[in-house]
C-alpha cells in the first residue's frame, strides 16, 4: 500500500521547454506576407506613429556579408542560430543611426533551397532584432524570386517609397545611403548592391567604408554604364522606337501611353506615304 502510494506521489520530470520558433511566438517583430515573393519583417515600426513635419533620413543595409556573417564560417548558414555580427561595430552603428533619428532598413536577396531553409531564415530575423537591438526600429525586405524586387532591380526601394508615401511620411532621399558588400571587387560574389544603388540614384558605400572608415576600393563604371545618365547621353542624338507585334494588336494607339517629350511624335505610313522619307 505504501509502496504504491510512494510511486503515485513521485515528482514527474519537468516538461521540456519548446523554442519560440516552433510555437510561432516569434518576438520581437512581425511579418507582412501580403506579397508572396517579398519578405517584409518589421520591429518597432516607426511608421505606426505620427509623421514628423520634416523629412526623415534613411539608411539602407544589405544583410549577409554586411551586417552579419555565419558563425560556423560556412558560406551558407547551418540554421537560424548560425550567425554573428560582421564586426563588433555593427550594432553600435545601428544604435547610433536610431539615435540620430534615421530609419534603418535592410534589403536582401535570398534564394532558399527548400521550405526548411526559408523557415530558418525567417526565424533568424527576430533574433537579429533582439540581439543588442531591442530598442532600435528595424525593417527588413528580402526578395525571394527573380522578379522586380530582386537586386540590382529597384523594386524593394520602390516598395519602400510607396510604403512611406501611403503612411504620409516624407523621406529625404538625397541623404540616403546604401551599404552593401556586393560591389564588384575582386572576391565579391557580384556587384548587385553597387548597381542597385546606381539604378536608384542612391549613394553607395561598402561595409569597410561605413563601419571601419576605410577608403573606397571598388571599380567605378564609366558614365555610359550609369543608367541614370543615359537620358542625358541620348539627348545628343536622334532616337526611334519601333514597335513590333501582331496585326491589330494596338501598335497604332500604343504611342498615346508614352510620355510626351518636346520634338517627339509618331511616324506612320498613313501620314507619311513615302517609305524612304519615313525611314
Residue 203 lies in a domain: yes
Dihedral (CA of 88, 90, 93, 99) sign: negative
Q: How many residues in the chain?
A: 279
**Whole-angstrom distance between the N-terminal and C-terminal Cα of the chain?**
109
Q: Which pLDDT does position 253 carry in this prediction?
A: 62
Q: Which pLDDT does position 263 carry in this prediction?
A: 60
Grid coordinates belonging to 225: 554604364
Residue 14 lies in a domain: no
Task: With beta carbons less than 8 A apart as the criterion, state whether 254 and 242 touch.
Answer: no
* Beta strand pairing call for 38-43 and 30-32: antiparallel
Task: With beta carbons less than 8 A apart as the criterion, state whether 153 and 178 touch.
Answer: no
* Beta strand pairing call for 138-143 and 84-85: unpaired
524612304: which residue's cell? 276
Q: Which pLDDT does position 130 carry in this prediction?
A: 86
Residue 256 lies in a domain: no
What does the DSSP assignment read for the chain? -HHHHHHHTSPPPPPPPPPHHHHT---S-EEE-SSTTEEEEEES-GGGSPPPSSPBPEEEE-SBTTTEE-SS--SS-SSTT--EESSTHHHHHHHHHHHTTPEEEEEEE---SSHHHHHHHHHHHHHHHHTTTTTS-EEEEEE-SSSTTSTTSSHHHHHHHHHHHHTT--B-GGG-EEE-S-SS-TT-S-SHHHHHHHHHT-EEE-HHHHHH-PPP-S----GGG-GGGHHHHHTTS---------TTSSHHHHGGGSPP-TT-----TTT---HHHH-
Give the pLDDT means over successive 10-residue stretches in the chain (279 positions).
Answer: 47 45 53 93 93 96 95 84 93 96 96 77 88 89 93 96 96 97 90 92 95 85 58 58 65 60 62 61
Q: Which domain holds residue 54?
A: 25-240
Task: With beta carbons less than 8 A apart as the criterion, state whether 103 and 139 touch.
Answer: yes
Q: Which pLDDT does position 99 carry in this prediction?
A: 96
State how far the Cα of 216 lies from the Cα of 193, in Å rounded to an integer.
Answer: 14
Residue 259 lies in a domain: no
Total domains in the chain come to 1
Residue 17 lies in a domain: no
Q: Which pLDDT does position 241 carry in this prediction?
A: 66
The CATH number covering residue 190 comes to: 3.40.50.1000
Q: Which pLDDT does position 20 carry in this prediction?
A: 39
What angle (nearest 5°) sits at the alpha carbon of residue 100, between those of residues 96 and 105? 70
506612320: which residue's cell? 268
Grid coordinates belonging to 130: 533582439
Residue 100 lies in a domain: yes
Question: Which residues, 6+ apart, have CB-to-CB distance to 40 below 8 Å?
Answer: 31, 32, 33, 34, 139, 140, 141
Residue 279 lies in a domain: no
Residue 173 lies in a domain: yes
Amino acid at each position: 500500500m505504501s509502496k504504491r502510494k510512494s510511486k503515485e506521489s513521485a515528482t514527474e520530470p519537468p516538461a521540456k521547454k519548446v523554442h519560440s520558433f516552433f510555437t510561432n511566438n516569434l518576438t520581437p517583430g512581425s511579418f507582412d506576407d501580403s506579397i508572396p515573393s517579398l519578405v517584409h519583417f518589421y520591429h518597432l515600426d516607426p511608421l505606426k506613429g505620427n509623421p514628423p513635419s520634416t523629412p526623415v533620413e534613411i539608411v539602407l543595409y544589405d544583410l549577409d556579408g554586411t551586417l552579419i556573417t555565419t558563425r560556423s564560417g560556412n558560406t551558407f548558414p547551418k540554421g537560424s542560430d548560425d550567425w554573428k555580427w560582421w564586426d563588433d561595430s555593427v550594432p553600435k552603428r545601428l544604435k547610433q543611426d536610431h539615435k540620430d533619428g534615421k530609419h534603418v532598413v535592410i534589403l536582401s536577396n535570398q534564394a532558399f533551397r527548400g521550405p526548411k531553409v526559408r523557415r530558418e531564415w525567417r526565424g533568424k530575423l527576430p533574433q537579429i532584432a533582439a540581439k543588442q537591438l531591442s530598442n532600435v526600429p528595424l525593417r527588413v525586405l528580402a526578395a525571394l524570386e527573380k522578379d522586380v524586387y530582386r537586386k540590382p532591380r529597384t523594386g524593394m526601394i520602390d516598395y519602400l517609397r510607396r510604403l512611406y508615401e501611403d503612411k504620409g511620411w516624407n523621406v529625404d532621399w538625397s541623404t540616403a545611403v546604401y551599404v552593401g558588400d556586393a560591389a564588384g571587387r575582386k572576391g565579391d560574389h557580384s556587384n548587385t548592391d553597387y548597381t542597385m544603388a546606381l539604378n536608384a540614384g542612391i549613394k553607395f558605400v561598402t561595409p569597410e567604408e561605413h563601419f571601419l572608415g576605410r577608403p573606397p576600393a571598388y571599380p567605378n563604371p564609366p558614365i555610359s554604364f550609369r543608367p541614370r545618365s543615359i537620358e542625358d547621353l541620348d539627348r545628343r542624338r536622334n532616337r526611334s522606337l519601333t514597335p513590333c507585334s501582331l496585326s491589330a494588336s494596338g501598335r497604332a494607339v500604343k504611342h498615346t501611353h508614352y510620355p510626351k517629350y518636346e520634338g517627339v511624335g509618331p511616324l506612320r505610313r498613313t501620314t507619311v506615304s513615302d517609305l524612304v522619307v519615313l525611314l
